[in-house]
Amino acid sequence: MPVKIAGEWLNSCSGCEIAILNLGETLLDLLPQLDFVHIPVLMDHKHYGQLGDKTQIDIPKATVGLVSGGIRNEEHLEVAHEMRKKCDILIALGTCATHGGIPALINSYTNDQLFAQYYHTESTDLDAQVPTNGVSKLLDRCYALDEQIKVDIYLPGCPPHPDQIATVILALLAGETPVLPFRSVCDTCPTKRNGKGKVKQIKRFITTPAFDPDQPLDQMQCLLEQGYLCSGPVTKAGCAGNNGEGPRCISARVPCRGCYGPVKQDGNQLLDMLNALVSNGIDIKSLPDRDSLLRFSGAHNRLVANKKGGM
Amino acid sequence: MGKTINISPLSRIEGHASIKIQLDDTGNVEKAVTHFNSIRGFEKYVQGKPAEEVTRIVTRICGICPWHHHLSSTKAVDACFGADVAPAGHMLRECMQNMAHINDKILHFYFLAAPDFVLGPDADYRVRNVIGIAKAAPELARQVIQMRQLGQMMMEKFAGKVIHPVAAVPGGFSKPMSDSQRISLMDDTKTLLEFAKFTMAHAKQNIFPNYLEEVTTIGSITTGFIGTVDNQGSLNFYDGQIRLMKPDGSFSDFHDADYLNYIGEHVADTSYGKFPYAKSWNEGFSMDLAHPKGIYRANCLARINVCDQISTPLAQAELEEFRKSFGRPAQHTLLYHWARLIELVYACEKTLELLSDPAICGRETRFDVTPKAGRGVGHVEAPRGTLIHDYTTDDKGLIVSANMIVGTTHNLAPISMSVDQAARMLIKDGKVDETILNKVEMAVRAYDP
């Protein structure tokens, strides 16, 4: 019997869904074992009946539920509860679902501050009012899924590597509990580390690091040791996939910014990174902007609005 | 008042939207309103962030077209910092920009739109999807999946991340391309070009002729168009002047930095998404089907309409054939699908052209940049339309304010109008069924929102 799967996307960008499609032929070969009953990006099952005449959201029962995106408005919340009710095993897919992701950067601001900016840009008509008719009311902030519903499996990543999506699906098909890496990006990074360096100040990524493009990653010195901020030490591993050369941003010769969220589900990437820098004698005043260290994990009250000002 | 039909969520599209159709007592459409429900506030939370970091934050506006946000944003930061771009870096960016268009078009045509055409608008919703196609035409499905995967992995292998990329940096590109990578990418692009040619021929022979009635009726409206052309008036995805065309085919060209003189954004009470309109036409904004005001469209059909010609031979031949059949500007909404395939051919040809120049392997891909106060506008053609990022930085190079006009938003008013048109045309005297409602959604899907 194929396994019934339901999918939903909430406060998200659809990158996680594209990551599922990037399973390529693996997904095609798995299809006979999967029975998608609801997934708006790919199929036409509707919330309010196929004729749009129901008043309650209804999603079919499924064994596995995939939810990407955090929870930002009343409709997201209703859909999240319906998914929880109808799915035996609920997977938080991607860092928006597990930790709020980039959209949780809004948690540094109130909704009024958001509206005041968005509906008053230079190109916007001067008489603009905040829309209220038939659009879902915003909650006070952006929530990770587990702040509102119980989550069974956390599969972070922005987006998650297709290898890990496959690992989870295959384990569930075999009736097993999926095992994902519990390490940091640095643990999977082949760059050369020479021990505590002479770096005292953090450099912005506006200059080219030292590397020989004809040589593999293991011939490049660690970007943090070269003085560039790199969130590898405080970020969960996985972006390299099963057989990658190394962490994906590092393989582009660009430092990590933490897109898999903290190594431990309840870790704090900001505090952990500041600790790491301080313990290496690096002046944290040289960081141009600390909130950026929480750019992927600002839910769970890590980022909070300054109601008086905002920028 | 008659009943309300709530089509939610719109499906096989890339964003979040729903339609409410209000029927009157006789079962005819009183009004059909499209709600665009997403608001995340990127303009707000990029404030205070270092501009060079913002190029890898705004990618999350869209997981399907992150490359285009990445590149448009990087161009805006270049302009804020007054940065010179290393020539090889510039070529690599343009190459990635075109490659990303290839995958996007394969995704939309086969995965999202094709079920309506291959299986039919009236097929059971449980099979009217890409999984249904995999069962009905397994060989074609496998080929499609291989081709899309090839396109994605070409980019990932070279640039590290294909979804939410990081390799474009102010001043250039993060790493050079080796000659062996160039040759290998050229071979793969040739494979994709063959597939593009097959797709174009297959659609013209086996798909479009079967749906001529739908193509010339569903969602049809009359509007202006927007897109980017180079200094010869040829289609260009990466750089050039923005061309804004009126419904009568007359047009004006402008630099992206002047966009505020040409584009305004209307806010409707029914949508978080704003509705851009042609401010320079000085007629205001109205979505009245009989007398629209300020309405223009973006995305592939718009680009195919505004360009004088296409610089690559196969796509140019397709353009000529298209214009012979449908004129310029072509207005029928479902022709977006046809235009998209012409652009698929172009994107493959253009990528090959860029990879054919060994200068793309230049070792210096990136100049150092110095953060400073400034204002910069960057734009590219995202698959879904002209994509503008406009930043102001302070003397530390932190973002002070940002404005973004995203490809799909240009089409929010036209989509709303096409839905209204399709609903009024298809729902008569209380007769409404799943096929009719799916046909209303087909008017949305053509725009690939």
Query: Looking at residue A29, which CATH number applies to its domain?
Result: 3.40.50.700
In a domain, A310, yes or no: no
Find the closest chain A residue to B433 by CA distance. Answer: A51
Mean pLDDT over A130-159 rounds to 97
Task: Give one word for B118, left, alpha or beta, with left for phi > 0 and alpha for psi -120 to 50.
Answer: alpha
Model pLDDT, residue A182: 86
Question: Is the CB of A248 inside 8 Å of chain B's CB atoms?
Answer: yes
pLDDT on residue A311: 44
A165 shares its domain with A20: yes
Q: Is B157 in the A-facing interface, judged by CB distances under 8 Å?
A: no
In angstroms, the separation between the Cα of residue B100 and the nearest Cα of chain A is: 13
Which tens digits make up the pLDDT trace of A5-53? 999 999 999 999 999 999 999 999 999 999 999 999 999 999 999 999 9
The CA-based angle B153-B155-B158, given to 5 degrees, is 105
CB contact under 8 A, A288 and B398: yes
CB contact under 8 A, A22 and B396: no
In this structure, what token pair is assigned to residue A210? 């030292």
Verify whether the Cβ–Cβ distance A21 to B107 is below 8 Å: yes
pLDDT at res. A306:
80
CATH 1.10.645.10 domain residues, chain B: 84-203+332-368
Query: Per the omega criterion (within 30 degrees of 0), is the bond before B313 cis?
Result: no
Which 360-379 residues of chain B touch chain A by CB within 8 A? Answer: 363, 366, 368-371
Residue A239 in domain: yes
Whether B280 and chain A come into contact, CB under 8 Å, resolves to: no
Residues A270 and A150 grouped into a single domain: no
Could you tell me if B396 lies within 8 Å of chain A, comparing CB atoms? yes
Instruction: Report the run of H or E that residue B379 belongs to, with start and end.
Output: strand B374-382
Q: Out of B10, B18, B40, whose CB is closest to A106?
A: B40
Same domain? For A139 and A206 the reply is no
Question: Does the beta-carbon distance from B43 to A121 stay under 8 Å?
Answer: yes
Predicted model pTM: 0.98
pLDDT of residue A198: 82
Best probe of the B interface among A27, A54, A135, by most B CBs < 10 A, is A135
- Structural domain including A249 reads 182-304
Do A123 and A272 lie in one domain? The reply is no
Chain A residues inside the 8 Å CB shell of B272: 131, 135
Residue A166 and residue A23 in one domain: yes
The list of chain B residues with pLDDT below 50 reads none
Best B67, B104, B166, B259 member to test A by mutation, with max A CBs in 10 Å, is B166
Block residue for tokens 């929530």: A143
Tell me which of A121, A155, A173 is where a domain ends.
A173
> Among B276, B284, B226, which Cα is nearest to A124's?
B276
From B159's Cα to the closest Cα of chain A, the distance in A is: 5
Of A144, A173, A202, the residue at which a domain comes to its end is: A173
Contact: B176, A213; criterion CB under 8 Å: yes
Say if the Cβ atoms of A292 and B50 lie within 8 Å. Answer: yes
Q: Does A212 touch chain B (CB under 8 A)?
A: no
Q: Does residue A136 sit in the same domain as residue A208?
A: no
CB atoms within 10 A of CB B370: 12
DSSP H helical segments within chain A, as ranges?
A: 15-21, 25-30, 74-86, 95-99, 111-118, 162-173, 248-251, 269-279
Is some CB atom of chain A closer than 8 A to the CB atom of B358? no
Predicted local distance difference test score (pLDDT) of residue A307: 67
- Judge if A240 and A141 occupy the same domain: no
Whether residue A9 and residue B269 make contact (CB cut-off 8 A), yes or no, is no
For chain B positions 167-186, those within 8 Å of chain A (CB to CB) are 167, 169-171, 174-176, 178
Residues A123 and A231 in one domain: no
Euclidean distance between CA atoms B407 and B302, whole angstroms: 11
Do the Cβ atoms of B35 and A135 come within 8 Å?
yes
* Residue A311 maps to a domain: no
Q: Give the whole-angstrom CA distance, residue A26 versus residue A161.
A: 13
Q: How many structural domains comprise chain A?
A: 2
Percent of chain B with pLDDT over 70: 100
A275 and A296 fall within a common domain: yes
> A33 at the B interface (CB within 8 A)?
no
Contacts of B171 in chain A (CB under 8 A): 206
**CB pair distance less than 8 Å for B37 and A72:** no
B84-203+332-368: in CATH 1.10.10.10: no
Of A173, A193, A211, the position where a domain reaches its end is A173
Residue of B nearest to A121 (CA): B403
Residue A219 shares a structural domain with residue A242: yes
Question: If contacts are CB pairs under 8 Å, which of residues 75-104 in chain B contact chain A?
Answer: none
Which residue(s) pair with B20 in the sheet? B6, B33
Task: Tell me whether B434 touches chain A (CB under 8 Å).
Answer: yes
Residue-level pLDDT at A310? 47
A171-215 pLDDT tens trace: 999 999 998 888 999 999 999 998 766 889 999 999 999 999 999
Q: Where does B107-223 show beta strands of DSSP type E?
A: 168-169, 172-173
State the pLDDT at residue A196. 63
Contact with chain B for residue A252, Cβ under 8 A = yes
Number of alpha carbons in the 13 Å side-chain half-sphere of residue B162? 25
A87 shares a domain with A150: yes
State chain A's mean pLDDT as an integer: 95
Q: Are residues A187 and A161 in the same domain?
A: no
